[in-house]
Amino acid sequence: MIPLTISGYSTALFATWYFVEELGLLLDAGDGVSAALLQKARKINHVFISHADRDHLTGLLQLNQLNARPGYPVIYYPRDCTSFPAMEAFSVKFDPHVSGTVWQPLIAPSATYIKDDVVVKAHRNGHVVVAPELMKSFGYTVTQVKQKLKPELLHLPGEDIKRLIQEHGREAVSIEVSQPLLGYSGDTPVEDWGLWDGIPVLIHEATFLESEGAIKEKPTAHKHSTLEQVLEMVANIKLEKLVLGHFSSRYSADVIDNRIRELCKHYGISIPVYRILPGVTQYDILNSYPVNR
């Protein structure tokens, strides 16, 4: 499996972005992403934006200005968010030298290859309440797809396999095997538990520590998750590592950490849980210290 070096910043209302170095992948592009990554931002080839709230996209302008080259970066966004065409038009006018960027509307479900063997799938979520045909808010999963020799051919000598490939093509001897790598919730209420089941690393939002915080929001407001809803789900699915982000800045670091520890105990969660505290950029998250250990 590809090892993942993930760095990120995620505070509700202000900015959210996660950079996966080995994949040249940026998930959301909140303010400050270029300033935090410096030269590493040049490694970003593909940007998948979850939705058009400002805290998830205002970093695009500077990212483009510094890094655009022919055909890159490719910026994928939910098809019916009109903010992106508006931003594309502004970006081209404001920085005329930025012409290489590709702005790519996406629907969900969909699958986009970002490397020969790595695919990013878009999944519609309920953060923005709109008619089912409108695409305004996504989560993403990243999967590695490999070709493996068909089990019934494993005993054959190499010469025979070569001959089969020559005669019938590579498809005749191989099957496709998918290895999930990463899930990213975007902003969303906790919905389909099955979507994340079996994914080694899940990055999930947990805007509110208690349900009162969520209830106080207007009913028309965009929908979020509470920490307890996320951890209840995590206790019931199979993950290897959990990254929590998008906390409201109303909570202090101590309050967040204590509540995570309390709920991990309550739900019997023993996998490592990492968190992105409000106002803090965390480099190489999966090699930082899990908060529940």
Residues that bind Zn ion (CB under 5 A): 53, 55, 187
Strand 46-48 vs strand 25-29: parallel, antiparallel, or unpaired? parallel
Determine the Cα angle at 124 with ends 185 and 45, to 5°.
65
Residue 113: CB atoms within 10 Å: 11
Minimum Å distance from CB 16 to Zn ion?
A: 5
State which residue, 121 or 224, has the beta carbon closest to Zn ion: 224
Minimum Å distance from CB 283 to Zn ion?
A: 21
Q: Locate tokens 């930025």: which residue?
A: 98
State which residue, 48 or 72, has the beta carbon closest to Zn ion: 48
Can you list the positions of beta strands (E) in 82-137? 102-106, 110-115, 118-124
Minimum Å distance from CB 186 to Zn ion?
A: 8
Minimum Å distance from CB 11 to Zn ion?
A: 9
Per DSSP, helices labelled H in 68-190 are 83-94, 158-168
Minimum Å distance from CB 54 to Zn ion?
A: 9
State which residue, 55 or 228, has the beta carbon closest to Zn ion: 55
Residue 176: exposure state from Cβ atoms within 10 A (0-12, 13-18, ≥19): exposed
State which residue, 118 or 122, has the beta carbon closest to Zn ion: 122
Q: How far apart are CA 56 and CA 96, in angstroms?
A: 24
- Inter-axis angle of helices 253-267 and 227-236, nearest 10: 30
Give the pair of three-digit tokens for residue 192: 């389909």
State which residue, 31 or 187, has the beta carbon closest to Zn ion: 187
Minimum Å distance from CB 26 to Zn ion?
A: 15
Please give the C-alpha separations between residue 3 and each of 20, 181, 272, in angstroms, as whole numbers: 10, 9, 16
State which residue, 114 or 203, has the beta carbon closest to Zn ion: 203
